[in-house]
Amino acid sequence: MQAADNKIYQDKIVIRLIQFSVVWAVIAIGAGVYIAAELVWPTIDFGQYWLSFGRLRPVHTNGVIFGFGVSALMATGFYSVQRTSHVPLFAPRLAWFVCYAWQLIVLLGALSLLAGWNTTKEYAELEWPFDIAIAIVWICFGVVFFGTIAQRKIKPIYISNWFYGALIIVIAMLHVVNSLALPVSIDKSYSAYAGAQDAVVQWWYGHNAVGFLLTGGFLGMVYYFLPKIAGRPIWSYRLSVVAFWAFVYAYIWAGPHHLHYNAIPEWVQSLGVIMSVILLAPSWATLVNGVMTVSTAWEKLRTDPALKFIVLSLAFYGLATFEGPMMAIRSVNVVSHFTDWTVGHVHSGALGWNAMITYGTFYFLVPRLAGRELHSTRLANIHFWLAFSGTMLYIIAMWAAGVSQGLLWLSIDGLGELSFDFKDIMASMTPYYLLRLIAGLVFLLGTVLMAYNLFMTLKGQRSVKVTPPAVDPAYGVNA
Amino acid sequence: MSSNISSLTLLRSLYQPQQAFAELAGSEPSARRIFLSYSLWLLLLPPVFALIGAANFGWRLGADQPLFMATGDLLTISIGYFLALLFGLFSTAIISRWMAKTYGASVSLGRHMALITMVGQPLAMASVAHLFPDVLVNVLVLIPATIWGMYLLYAGIPVALETPPERGMLMASALMAWLLVAAVSLLGISMSLWVLGVGPLLGV
Amino acid sequence: MNGLTFHRKIEENTGLLIFGILFVSAIGGLVQLLPVLTQESLETASANTRPYSAVELTGRDIYMRENCVVCHSQQVRPLVAEVERYGPYSRAGEFVYDRPFLWGSKRTGPDLHRIGGKYSDDWHRLHLLDPRAVVPNSIMPAYPWLDERQASDTGDITNKLTVLRRLGHPYTDEQVANAEADLEGLTEMDALIVYLQMLGTGFSEEDAAMAGGAH
């Protein structure tokens, strides 16, 4: 047996990133609730530009994706890459820099958005100084992550690392290309791309930000934590290999489904449809792998809340990755484009999949990191039902609103005249927006309960010191 | 040997679910009998209510003017609705039984048919809201019915299908995934059909 | 088994894994983006489309700063009902000076691509100051601060035109030199309204007819 190093895993940084992630979740979901309320009562910005819907919306989206989401991915990525490599983090000081620099970017970024620094490109609204900062910090993230892998004591690189790795590499590529612009002043730049060309580049970026950050990165979470909790290996290695490469290849092409019937070449739109539908296969292959992994080891499962969240998140993952390809089909897209159905689809993924798998993983991780039981299992179970019903209410309200809008906008009478005025259609959406606001409040409440629960669990605890265990020589680097 | 699950048991799941589930446990009812004597009639409620409501009040998708469609179109849509519900019931019951071995549940198709009928029953009853086909009214009535149905699914599987609690939860989540996919497919297929001309006139 | 043995090699080598991911993920982008970025027709302005004037550009930058694009699209689709509601559908040649594009992805409010000339300046002013005064059930926020700020507060307009010229927009030396003067005496509200009033006016039926109605 190889002797284990006397070094311990770098877990304090994992705890810190989880703390930041939870704080961002509360703030950014809170911002979401506020703008949902503004869609019901538009005067609650009180005439202040920094409370205006247009300025708050990107604070919400950036907050959840880059604050909540990326911090969670960094936390779980750092945790799992160490353990699958059997070495502590490479360049720990650089890792701490990544942790804090990232939080600074998100915080200052949010403030800049309120001040009106805005490229208007979705999920890339931050202006050029932030783009440069993001690129630098992201490269450091890659160095720490791949550096750890390069120093591993186990020969094969475990599959969760492929997904986190793809997250790092592809987001870097997308960010650099899409952010190209000529600065005018510190707070303003003009895009290197114009018009229809910019549209295609933007949605190559936008769709794949969803694909590799919100889908790929979190699949990395699934591939590590699900077998961990189930106490069994992934159900099918072969399936995971095929699914991974098919996923990386296919996702990139699907961007144009955001631009159906828009002024871009037909062939690009059609490619987007075909590849979006093909994408269903690798998405669901991963789902099957996850479900079967858990199913074969049921006797190891306890009815702890972590598992409930993770298992249900897979169901919503299935929904979202099915609904996406379906909405990419032109005859459905004709009705859904520009409507709240798109918003519903986004949130079935964001709430049902991303948030829930993160919450489940945090409920599993935090007690382990703190070396004590979760503060309150009862609160976590209550959270589960709040998250579940909040998500369902959100989705149903937006499906109803979106389908209504889409059909009413297109509705003509026997003489070919429009049946309804735009403003009348939108005025009738208020009840759905109210339902959605309630859904958001319910979901936020659950999140707040979790924040309390996790912070109480961590309170006063030092992180548990874990030494990398010895490696079976059959899999060692010298094997 | 098939034991009989009475229609009363199925009805009882609405207000005394735990007893109804307990009665299901250990039984091997005939799927065909359950369908023909109960489920079929339950499934007729939504399309019939929808037909009556749409014909008399017109579809209200939000803005004030109701849309009236030709009786022929309404009939087509109602029949399509019924067929979709039939497909939903059978496919879910069959998928549920297909999953049974993985989760250590009973493999009696009749039991699955009965359980899925119970899960869908609140929605079927709540479809009385279709008599006034305003989308908002329907959404407000059907959401609590949906949540009640979800509860019946999670509470019912471990008891009625006799699985250990953890496995029952996994199975319920798997079925939940199927139901979500089926619901959104229904949405997508309906949109495609409407865009292709079945339904009110759309200027595409 | 050969495929998996090959894969083992990638799985055991950090560099190969990184390269493999980069290579595989780059393909889709190259195939879709390269042709689009080099297609001349997507860079050719339609007959009546010209670069934004100093005032229009200022208005557009205000539109971007307030993020109007999250509720209003600028893309009329080639669908019967849409053309009926908004006007001629949007052609690529109308957007060649849009950096970035503002097609939007959501209509909480109506599409604005053909809004130019449909309402009076006064209507826009009233609507922006208090949407509900003009459209009772509107959920649009109000923008009172636009009237309190000068158009020149939006940023260095001369610099903006210079940068855009570097990106290929055909501004004359005169236009650049007069940019600041053009903004004098105007509020941000005025500039935004000027921008809104020119939206969609870069299109003419003759353009579409000559191009055979295609993109």
Give the CATH number of the domain where residue A431 resides: 1.20.210.10
Q: What is the pLDDT of residues C104-149, one digit of tens each?
A: 999 999 999 999 999 999 999 999 999 999 999 999 999 999 999 9
Q: How far is the alpha carbon of B204 from chain A, nearest alpha carbon, in Å?
A: 7
Which residues in chain B are contacts of C77 at CB distance < 8 A? Answer: none
Which residues in chain B are contacts of A421 at CB distance < 8 A? Answer: 63
Number of domains in chain B: 1
Confidence grade of residue B136 (pLDDT, cut at 50, 70, 90): confident
- Is A264–C84 a contact, with Cβ atoms under 8 angstroms apart? no
User: How much is the average pLDDT of A168-194?
Assistant: 97
DSSP code for B133: -
Name the token pair of A104: 């600074």
Strands (E), A135-180: none
- The residues that bridge with A181 in the sheet, in sequence order, are A191
Which residues have C-beta within 8 Å of that of residue C197, sequence separation ≥ 6? C115, C116, C117, C121, C124
Question: Mean pLDDT over all residues of chain A?
Answer: 93
Which residues have C-beta within 8 Å of that of residue B88, sequence separation ≥ 6? B120, B182
Say yes or no to pLDDT of B30 above 70. Answer: yes
Q: What percent of chain B has pLDDT over 90?
A: 50
> Strand, coil or helix: what is A181?
strand
Which residues in chain C are contacts of A252 at CB distance < 8 A? Answer: 25-29
- Is C82–B203 a contact, with Cβ atoms under 8 angstroms apart? yes
Chain B residue closest in CA terms to A314: B177
DSSP code for C53: P
**Which pLDDT score is estimated for B63?**
63
Q: Could you give the CA distance from residue A151 to residue A88 in angstroms, rounded to a whole number?
A: 9
User: How much is the average pLDDT of A345-355?
Assistant: 97
Name the token pair of A110: 């949010």
**Which pLDDT score is estimated for A297?**
63
Chain C residue closest in CA terms to B195: C79
CA atoms within 13 A on the CB side of A16: 14
- Is B196–A334 a contact, with Cβ atoms under 8 angstroms apart? no
Q: Which long-range contacts (CB under 8 A, 24 or more apart) does C76-81 make?
A: C76/C111, C76/C113, C76/C114, C77/A261, C77/A262, C77/A337, C78/A261, C79/A261, C79/A334, C79/A410, C79/B203, C79/B204, C80/A412, C80/A416, C80/B203, C80/B204, C81/A409, C81/A410, C81/A411, C81/A412, C81/A418, C81/B202, C81/B203, C81/B204
Domain assignment present for B201 = no
Say yes or no to pLDDT of A346 above 80. Answer: yes
Q: Could you give the CA distance from residue C187 to residue C149 in angstroms, rounded to a whole number?
A: 6
- Is B173–A329 a contact, with Cβ atoms under 8 angstroms apart? no
Confidence grade of residue A352 (pLDDT, cut at 50, 70, 90): very high
- Domain limits at A184? 2-412+422-461
CA atoms within 13 A on the CB side of A340: 26
- Is B62–A425 a contact, with Cβ atoms under 8 angstroms apart? yes
- Report yes or no: B180 at the A interface, CB cutoff 8 Å: yes
**Which pLDDT score is estimated for C214?**
44
Domain assignment present for B90 = yes
Name the token pair of A354: 């991303």
- Is A397–B192 a contact, with Cβ atoms under 8 angstroms apart? no
Which residues in chain A are contacts of B69 at CB distance < 8 A? Answer: none
Which residues have C-beta within 8 Å of that of residue A217, sequence separation ≥ 6? A69, A73, A77, A163, A164, A167
Which residues in chain A are contacts of B180 at CB distance < 8 A? Answer: 315-316, 318-319
Q: Is A338 left (phi over 0), alpha (psi -120 to 50) or beta?
A: left
**Which pLDDT score is estimated for B74?**
85
The rounded Cα B182 to chain-centroid distance in angstroms is: 11
Q: What is the pLDDT of residues B71-89, one digit of tens each?
A: 888 888 899 899 999 999 9
Domain assignment present for A471 = no
- Is C67–A57 a contact, with Cβ atoms under 8 angstroms apart? yes
- Is B204–A404 a contact, with Cβ atoms under 8 angstroms apart? no
Q: A residues 320-339 near C, CB within 8 Å?
A: 334, 337-339
Q: Which of A194, A195, A196, A193 is nearest to A178 (CA)?
A: A193
Q: Which of A165, A178, A163 is nearest to A128 (CA)?
A: A178
Confidence grade of residue C207 (pLDDT, cut at 50, 70, 90): low
**Which pLDDT score is estimated for A191?**
97
Chain A residue closest in CA terms to C164: A190
Q: How far is the alpha carbon of B203 from chain C, nearest alpha carbon, in Å?
A: 4
Chain B residue closest in CA terms to C81: B203
Backbone phi and psi for residue A184, each to the nearest 5 degrees, phi listed first: -110, -45
Chain A residue closest in CA terms to B99: A295
Domain assignment present for B131 = yes
Residues in chain B: 204
Q: Could you give the CA distance from residue A333 to residue A260 in angstroms, rounded to a whole number?
A: 7
Q: CB pairs below 8 Å between B and C: how many?
A: 9
Based on the number of CB atoms within 10 Å of its own CB, is B153 exposed (0-12), middle (13-18) or buried (19 or more)? buried
Confidence grade of residue A229 (pLDDT, cut at 50, 70, 90): confident
Say yes or no to pLDDT of B64 above 80. Answer: no
Say yes or no to pLDDT of C187 above 50. Answer: yes
Backbone phi and psi for residue C71, each to the nearest 5 degrees, phi listed first: -120, -20
Q: What is the pLDDT of residues C68-83, one digit of tens each?
A: 999 999 999 999 999 9
Chain B residue closest in CA terms to A393: B143
Domain assignment present for B121 = yes
Please report, for residues A202, B85, B197, the alpha-carbon distance to residue B75 in angstroms, rounded to integers and kept in the order given.
45, 15, 15
Domain assignment present for A477 = no
Q: How far is the alpha carbon of A308 from chain B, nearest alpha carbon, in Å?
A: 8
Residue type, A49: Y
Which residues in chain C are contacts of B204 at CB distance < 8 A? Answer: 79-81
Which residues in chain A are contacts of B166 at CB distance < 8 A? Answer: 298, 301-303, 307
Which residues in chain A are contacts of B64 at CB distance < 8 A? Answer: 424
* Among the partner residues B62, B180, B200, nearest to A428 by beta-carbon distance: B62
Name the token pair of A88: 């502590």
Say yes or no to pLDDT of C20 above 90. Answer: yes
- Residues A170/A245, Cβ–Cβ less than 8 Å: no
Give the range among A92-96, A300-304, C118-122 with minimum mean pLDDT: A300-304
Question: Mean pLDDT over all residues of chain B?
Answer: 88
Number of domains in chain A: 1
- Residues C71/A53, Cβ–Cβ less than 8 Å: yes
Cis peptide before C100 (omega within 30 of 0): yes
Which residues in chain B are contacts of A425 at CB distance < 8 A? Answer: 62-63
User: How much is the average pLDDT of A396-419?
Assistant: 91
- Is B204–C84 a contact, with Cβ atoms under 8 angstroms apart? no
Based on the number of CB atoms within 10 Å of its own CB, is C172 exposed (0-12), middle (13-18) or buried (19 or more)? exposed
- ipTM, 2 decimals? 0.94
- Is A432–B136 a contact, with Cβ atoms under 8 angstroms apart? yes
Q: How far is the alpha carbon of B68 from chain C, nearest alpha carbon, in Å?
A: 19
Say yes or no to pLDDT of A5 above 80. Answer: no
Torsion of CA C123, C125, C129, C133, to 10 degrees: -10
* Among the partner residues A120, A187, A241, nearest to C69 by beta-carbon distance: A120
Name the token pair of C40: 């001349």
Q: How far is the alpha carbon of A316 from chain B, nearest alpha carbon, in Å?
A: 7
Q: A residues 17-56 near C, CB within 8 Å?
A: 38-40, 42-43, 45, 47, 49, 52-55
Backbone phi and psi for residue A169, each to the nearest 5 degrees, phi listed first: -70, -50
- Report yes or no: B194 at the A interface, CB cutoff 8 Å: yes
Say yes or no to pLDDT of C1 above 60. Answer: no
Domain assignment present for A324 = yes
Q: How far is the alpha carbon of C77 from chain A, nearest alpha carbon, in Å?
A: 5
Domain assignment present for B27 = yes
- Which residues of B have a CB under 8 Å from any CB of C? 202-204
Chain C residue closest in CA terms to B201: C81
Domain assignment present for B187 = yes
Q: Could you give the CA distance from residue A308 to residue A233 in angstroms, rounded to a whole number?
A: 19
Chain B residue closest in CA terms to C85: B203
Backbone phi and psi for residue A190, each to the nearest 5 degrees, phi listed first: -115, 135
- Report yes or no: B18 at the A interface, CB cutoff 8 Å: no
Q: What is the pLDDT of residues A419-450, one digit of tens each?
A: 899 999 999 999 999 999 999 999 999 999 99
Confidence grade of residue A290 (pLDDT, cut at 50, 70, 90): confident
Domain assignment present for B75 = yes
The rounded Cα A461 to chain-centroid distance in angstroms is: 29
- Residues A64/A29, Cβ–Cβ less than 8 Å: yes
* Among the partner residues A183, A187, A202, nearest to C100 by beta-carbon distance: A202
Which residues in chain C are contacts of A416 at CB distance < 8 A? Answer: 80, 84
Q: How far is the alpha carbon of B201 from chain A, nearest alpha carbon, in Å?
A: 6
Q: How far is the alpha carbon of C185 from chain A, nearest alpha carbon, in Å?
A: 23
User: How much is the average pLDDT of B5-26?
Assistant: 89
Say yes or no to pLDDT of A301 above 60. Answer: no
Which residue in the block uniquely carries the two structure tokens 């369908």? B35
Alpha helices in B58-164 (DSSP H): 71-103, 109-126, 135-160
- Domain limits at B163? 7-196
Which residues in chain C are contacts of A194 at CB distance < 8 A? Answer: 43, 95-101, 167
Domain assignment present for B203 = no
Give the range among A45-59, A161-175, B174-188, C196-210 with minimum mean pLDDT: C196-210
Q: Which of A204, A178, A213 is nearest to A257 (CA)?
A: A204
- Residues C171/C51, Cβ–Cβ less than 8 Å: yes
Say yes or no to pLDDT of A77 above 60. Answer: yes
Say yes or no to pLDDT of A37 above 90. Answer: yes
Q: CB pairs below 8 Å between A and B: how many?
A: 132
Return the number of other C-beta atoms located less than 10 Å from residue B95's C-beta.
Answer: 17
Q: Could you give the CA distance from residue B78 to residue B56 in angstroms, rounded to a whole number?
A: 14
pTM score of the predicted model: 0.92
Q: What percent of chain C has pLDDT over 70?
A: 94
Which residues in chain A are contacts of B187 at CB distance < 8 A? Answer: 399, 403
**Which pLDDT score is estimated for A299?**
65
Q: Could you give the CA distance from residue A119 to residue A201 in angstroms, rounded to a whole number?
A: 14
Give the range among B24-28, C89-93, C140-144 with minimum mean pLDDT: B24-28
**Which pLDDT score is estimated for C52?**
96
- Is A194–C97 a contact, with Cβ atoms under 8 angstroms apart? yes
Which residues in chain C are contacts of B203 at CB distance < 8 A? Answer: 79-82, 84
Domain assignment present for A72 = yes
**Which pLDDT score is estimated for B5?**
76
Q: Which of A156, A146, A3, A158 is nearest to A468 (CA)?
A: A3
Give the sign of the dihedral formed by CA A324, CA A326, CA A327, CA A329: positive
Q: What percent of chain B has pLDDT over 70?
A: 97
Alpha helices in A252-339 (DSSP H): 266-278, 280-295, 305-327, 330-336
- Residues A442/A57, Cβ–Cβ less than 8 Å: no
Name the token pair of C174: 């005169």
